[in-house]
A and B are shown apart, each in its own frame.
Chain A
């Protein structure tokens, strides 16, 4: 089983259940891969070696004794380091939390463990999930496995890179404005953002509370669906958790009678190779039985401005809790209470986080709230209206995930240009919609591109089904050449 990293998560689980490989072999294999490739990629902030080996040993005993095993039994999974694993450090990619030991499990993490997943490490991210390139991690940047000089996307770049390079077979991410889908597209893997409220946010360090959702990264759509069956559950500790039972994801291979919505005017001015890739994806969906209809989502051109007002406003309040009093760093040079706040936040936060806290405070401040925050809320409502109208005539909206393939590290300096990287992903967050990124080919530099399928609220299963049909017809995911080794 030297090539077990080439298997899908489901295939590896089945091999473990049949006794073809032990959980300890699996854990050791992926730990070796992380040791071998981890530092080139910067994907992991911590590796849970002893913990995962103990869990693997327990799983092997369970299997030997014929005890029931969970649906994720023996699958190595990486957790984005803004989600709590009790007893382990949660840094959020920030110096502020460099020593913060999580006192409880995030609900999503607990559910994964209950299904016998092997939690193998915590993945790197932009500080407090604020970024589109992973260049904002306070520790070290993540590199794209397809080309180490390129960014992996952000903010869940560590998770995307880890899956792409097969250092784990599943990973969690959080998506506030595209932080799962954009890195999935850049790294050539599957990334899914569920309907807002589908996965509990309990134990996820909050960024934009009306936008944040936890979701899976995987090498196949079916693997992502398996994670959703596990974590897409109601939770009493998240007041916005949907009060519906977990869903079963039955996947099918055609798109018969499905209407796909094409927002042509909003997608004007795509780069030629992104446009060619997009049109080719539409053609493939048509060949699978879908009918394309034109829809009006012109209002989405305001979505970046709306998003960066609302997300920063929410972040400025959420990050007020980091004050150096109860947890996190406290500045040693502070002499009084006010200096504790001022100095701890100065020393603990990176530049992008400071920028966003200040921007969020500005748009909420007296005199400017009506012009920015309230206006953004109203336009958000118009965006919801536009999607609702679109879904009267189509079942899913199809868009590119990103405006290009992965860009070079350090290439984007203008903040607005960086924020515009999220233009195709933030609409789903603003409207609370389920959306997936599926590999759709490569650009001229052989960097992956992704296609995005966005469904109506609550239609997570449908989105996954459409993605599965497209994936089965195309099979465009691959292993980056530098990581396509035949041994651990």
Chain B
């Protein structure tokens, strides 16, 4: 089981693409330390070889797949109606490539 420290938090912020202010960061660090300590109880559980492979869908039907037929569930206009920025029927974002 892991120790959870500030360095791990910094790494996680990058993985999650989330910035925090100082107060938030201190609280999140303390909370996650506490919660991960609580998860140490997993060590008490021995999983025997060949143990159950039960999943929540056992006894049910499993995933249902639709036929691969295109449907118009949303028009372009409907989809774009929630976009924070758009141009000529497309979503606009800042330039990704730097110009020379």
Measured CB to CB, the residues of A under 8 A from B are: 99-101, 103-104, 196-197, 210, 236-237, 239-244, 302, 304-305, 308-309, 316, 323-330, 334-338, 340-343, 345-346, 349, 351, 354-355, 357-359, 361-362, 365, 367-368, 371-372, 375-376, 378-382, 384-385, 388, 414-416, 419, 430-432, 457-458
Contact = CB atoms under 8 A, between A and B. Distances in A.
Given A361-B15, A388-B54, A415 B84 contact: no
A309 B2 CA distance: 14
A351 B28 contact: yes
A382 B45 contact: yes
Given A345-B18, A375-B42, 11 more contacts: A99-B82, A196-B60, A242-B60, A316-B16, A323-B17, A326-B83, A329-B84, A330-B84, A358-B13, A371-B42, A378-B45
B31 A243 contact: no
Most chain B CB within a 10 A radius of its CB, from A309, A342, A359: A359
A349 B18 contact: yes
Given A379-B42, A379-B45, A385-B52, A355 B31 contact: yes
Given A302-B41, A327-B82, A384 B58 contact: yes
Most chain A CB within a 10 A radius of its CB, from B12, B18, B96: B18
A384 B84 contact: no
A419 B65 contact: no
B56 A382 contact: no
Contact of B24 (A100, A323, A354, A372): A354
A419 B34 CA distance: 12
A236 B94 contact: no
A234 B53 CA distance: 26
Contacts of B8: 362
27 contacts: A99-B82, A101-B82, A197-B60, A244-B61, A305-B41, A305-B42, A308-B35, A330-B85, A335-B94, A337-B93, A337-B94, A338-B17, A354-B28, A358-B13, A359-B35, A368-B2, A372-B39, A375-B42, A375-B47, A378-B47, A379-B45, A381-B54, A382-B52, A384-B54, A388-B54, A416-B34, A457-B60
A415 B34 contact: yes
Contacts of A210: 56
Contact of A362 (B12, B17, B61): B12
Contact of B42 (A340, A343, A372): A372
A368 B27 CA distance: 22
B51 A382 contact: yes
A241 B64 CA distance: 7
Chain B interface SS verdict (over half): loop
B38 A355 contact: no
B78 interface: yes
What is the size category of the interface that chain B forms with chain A?
35 or more
B32 A358 contact: yes
Most chain B CB within a 10 A radius of its CB, from A210, A346, A385: A346
A358 B12 contact: yes
A206 to B, nearest CB: 15
A194 B73 CA distance: 27
B28 A358 contact: yes
B6 to A, nearest CB: 13
A104 B84 CA distance: 18
A241 B51 CA distance: 27
Interface string B38-50: 1101101101000
B100 to A, nearest CB: 17
A376 B42 contact: yes
A407 B68 CA distance: 50
Interface string B1-35: 11010001100110111111100100110011011
A416 B38 contact: yes
Given A381-B51, A458-B59, A354 B94 contact: no
A243 B61 contact: yes
Contacts of B60: 196-197, 242, 432, 457-458
Contact of B28 (A328, A355, A381, A458): A355
B99 interface: no
A19 B31 CA distance: 57
Nearest to A385: B52
A239 B54 contact: no
Given A302-B45, A375-B47, A100 B18 contact: no
Given A305-B42, A341-B17, A362 B32 contact: yes
Nearest to A327: B82
Interface in B60-100: 60-61, 63-66, 73-74, 78-79, 81-85, 91, 93-96
B54 A354 contact: no
Contact of B63 (A103, A239, A304, A330): A239
Contacts of B17: 323, 338, 341-342, 345
